């Protein structure tokens, strides 16, 4: 059995790990480099790199397994040869579909707008390009639809094992800032490998981490763990503490905007619960968030006894309930792309009545490289007079990683998904 970390040993994201035997190759993640991390690559370079990986040992039975749907783990899926099976959790597949179908809808909207204004030759050229963009969206969506999936078993039930050639892969649910993330037990040539994916203990769903490891991560030869936080000093408070802090500031302002990710089920639940505690109606204005909340409610509403059930008011340019919002106050969850809409909504509010809770990674506005690549988070923050950061990372802190190693007692540890020079 051979473990080869193709990428992601000395960088956060862009993960590709291969486990192979004489007859079989299994890849864990096929991730795109995060913007501003590692060498920037063109799409052609990405395609060539993935092609070269699969051209090697092409006679072996091969499959790709994704730990979760963040782009730095799944982002190169379109370059994987069409005859190689790709596996992701059923929830992860739904999130990916939601993301790419929302993108396509945006491109179609832009094309329609272009058609209305289509008078010049230049615009006609743009329309042809836009049509190509939409065709590409369709290709990506059909690739995602072909992904094979596994369903999370009921609590305390043993998950099903998936077999590829002579390698066995068993997925175990874990807690991360992306919905339906998993870690894997991989059995090959009599060896047992545990791959954590991205994980944390300090979320609502993190209480299962150590019981799962104690029960299933036994006799492990090699532990492959993420190490995102090893060099970072961010405070890892529990997700419920994020909720308490949010509720206390929500009380002090009539209008509250929260900047958060559409695919982080736990953070969305935290914000929803805080809005309930402070008796403020909950609004959203982001198309992807509307869709992910429907997915979360359908898949998790009942089993979570309502924690992951969402019924916010959805507002858009065509349907803004401004009078009622102005009168009653609100909590509005937003994505980074919705700033113009929110500025229009709040333009005649007294700025001192409006609070922005910034509930995302602070690197997006603090790190100059991140800002250069995507200035939207910084612009969002700067548009408000009152801003507070309330966040906790989606990744395990050093203490948790050390405890994982202590509990699993592996013969060897490989630490991936970490900053250059970070050490255990
Ligand atoms: Zn992740």
pLDDT of the residue at 127: 77
Q: Give the mean pLDDT of 357-361.
A: 97
Residue pLDDT, tens place only, 141-188: 999 999 999 999 988 899 999 999 999 999 999 999 999 999 999 999
Contact 198, 224 (CB under 8 A): no
**Residues paired with residue 193 on neighbouring β-strands, in sequence order:** 186, 222
Distance 345 CA to ligand 1 centre (A): 32
SS (H, E, C) the chain: CEEEEEECCCCCCCCEEEEECCCEEEEECCCCCCCCCCCCCCHHHHHHHHHHHHHCCCCCEEEEECCCCCHHHHCCHHHCCCCCCEEEEHHHHHHHHHHHHHHHHHHHHHHHHHHHCCCCHHHHHHHHHHHHHHHHHHHHHHHHHCCEEECCCCCCCCCCCEEECCEEEEEEEECCCCCCEEEEEEEECCEEEEECCCCCCCCHHHHHHHHHHHHHCCCCCEEEEECCCCCCCCCCCCHHHHHHHHHHHHCCCCEEEEECCCCCHHHHHHHHHHHHHCCCCEEECCHHHHHHHHHHHHHHCCCCCCCCCCCCEECECCECCHHHHHHHCEEEEECHHHHHHHHHHHCCCCHHHEEEEECCCCHHHHCHHHHHHCCHHHHHHHCCCEEEECCCCCCCCHHHHHHHHHHHCCCEEEEECCCCCCCC
pLDDT of the residue at 118: 61
As a whole-number percent, the residues of the chain with pLDDT over 90 amount to 80
pLDDT of the residue at 117: 67
- What band does 121 get if pLDDT is binned at 50, 70 and 90? low
Residue pLDDT, tens place only, 72-103: 999 999 999 999 999 999 999 999 999 999 99
The residue among 171 and 109 whose pLDDT is bigger is 171
Distance 413 CA to ligand 1 centre (A): 20
Residue pLDDT, tens place only, 376-400: 999 999 999 999 999 999 999 999 9
Distance 72 CA to ligand 1 centre (A): 7
Mean of pLDDT over the chain: 93
Distance 37 CA to ligand 1 centre (A): 14
Distance 178 CA to ligand 1 centre (A): 6
Residue pLDDT, tens place only, 44-59: 999 999 999 999 999 9
Residue with tokens 């050490």: 423
pLDDT of the residue at 122: 65
Nearest C-alpha neighbor of 258 from the set 186, 185, 342? 342
pLDDT of the residue at 423: 82
pLDDT at 194 over 90: yes
pLDDT of the residue at 111: 79
Please give the Cα distance from 106 to 345 (Å, whole number). 21
Q: Give the mean pLDDT of 362-372.
A: 91
pLDDT of the residue at 422: 81
- What band does 29 get if pLDDT is binned at 50, 70 and 90? very high
pLDDT of the residue at 120: 63
Distance 18 CA to ligand 1 centre (A): 18
Distance 353 CA to ligand 1 centre (A): 35
Least confident of 33-47, 151-165, 216-230, 394-408: 33-47
Distance 417 CA to ligand 1 centre (A): 10
Q: Give the mean pLDDT of 309-322.
A: 93
Residue pLDDT, tens place only, 281-297: 999 999 999 999 999 99
pLDDT at 231 over 90: no
In terms of C-beta density within 10 A (0-12 exposed, 13-18 middle, 19 or more buried), how is residue 362 classed?
A: middle
Distance 104 CA to ligand 1 centre (A): 23
**Residues 6 or more apart whose Cβ sits within 8 Å of residue 197:** 28, 29, 67, 68, 73, 174, 176, 181, 182, 183, 184, 226
pLDDT at 321 over 70: yes
pLDDT of the residue at 424: 83
Q: Give the mean pLDDT of 120-143.
A: 84
Distance 68 CA to ligand 1 centre (A): 7
Least confident of 118-122, 329-333, 357-361: 118-122
Q: Give the mean pLDDT of 337-355.
A: 95
pLDDT of the residue at 235: 86
Q: Give the mean pLDDT of 400-411.
A: 97
Least confident of 3-17, 88-102, 257-271: 3-17
CB neighbourhood size of 113 (10 A): 11
């Amino acid at each position: 059995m051979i473990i080869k970390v193709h990428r992601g040993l000395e960088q956060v994201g862009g993960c590709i790990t291969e486990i192979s035997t004489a007859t079989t190759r299994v890849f864990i993640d096929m991730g795109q480099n995060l913007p501003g991390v590692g060498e920037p690559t063109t799409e052609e370079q990405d395609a060539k790199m993935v092609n070269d990986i699969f051209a090697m040992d092409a006679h072996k039975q091969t499959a790709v397994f994704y730990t979760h749907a963040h782009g730095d783990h799944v982002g190169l899926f379109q370059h994987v040869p069409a005859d190689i099976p790709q596996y992701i959790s059923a929830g992860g597949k739904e999130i990916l579909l939601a993301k790419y179908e929302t993108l396509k809808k945006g491109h179609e909207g832009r094309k329609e707008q272009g058609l209305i204004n289509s008078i010049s030759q230049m615009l006609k050229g743009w329309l042809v390009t836009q049509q190509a963009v939409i065709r590409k969206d369709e290709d990506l969506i059909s690739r995602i639809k072909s992904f094979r999936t596994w369903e999370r078993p009921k609590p305390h039930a043993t998950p099903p094992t998936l077999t590829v050639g002579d390698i066995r892969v068993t997925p175990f649910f874990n807690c991360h800032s992306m919905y339906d993330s998993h870690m894997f037990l991989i059995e090959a040539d009599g060896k047992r490998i545990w791959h954590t994916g991205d994980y944390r203990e300090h979320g609502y769903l993190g209480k299962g981490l150590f019981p799962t490891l104690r029960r299933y991560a036994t006799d492990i030869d090699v532990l492959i763990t993420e190490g995102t936080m090893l060099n970072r000093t961010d405070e890892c408070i529990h997700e419920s503490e994020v909720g308490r802090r949010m509720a206390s500031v929500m009380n002090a302002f009539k209008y509250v905007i929260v900047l958060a990710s559409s695919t982080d089920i736990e953070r969305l639940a935290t914000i929803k619960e805080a809005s309930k505690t402070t008796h403020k109606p909950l609004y959203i204005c982001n198309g992807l968030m509307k869709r992910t909340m429907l997915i979360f409610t359908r898949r998790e509403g009942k089993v979570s006894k309502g924690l992951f059930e969402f019924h916010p008011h959805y507002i858009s340019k065509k349907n803004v309930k401004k009078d009622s919002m102005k009168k009653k106050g609100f909590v509005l969850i937003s994505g980074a792309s919705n700033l113009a809409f929110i500025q229009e909504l709040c333009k005649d509010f007294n700025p001192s009545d409006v609070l922005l809770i910034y509930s995302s990674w602070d690197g997006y506005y603090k790190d100059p490289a991140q800002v250069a690549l995507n200035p939207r988070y910084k612009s969002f923050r700067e548009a408000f007079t009152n801003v507070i950061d309330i966040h906790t990372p989606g990744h395990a802190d050093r203490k948790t990683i050390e405890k994982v190693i202590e509990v699993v007692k592996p013969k060897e540890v490989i630490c991936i998904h970490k900053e250059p020079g970070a050490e255990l």
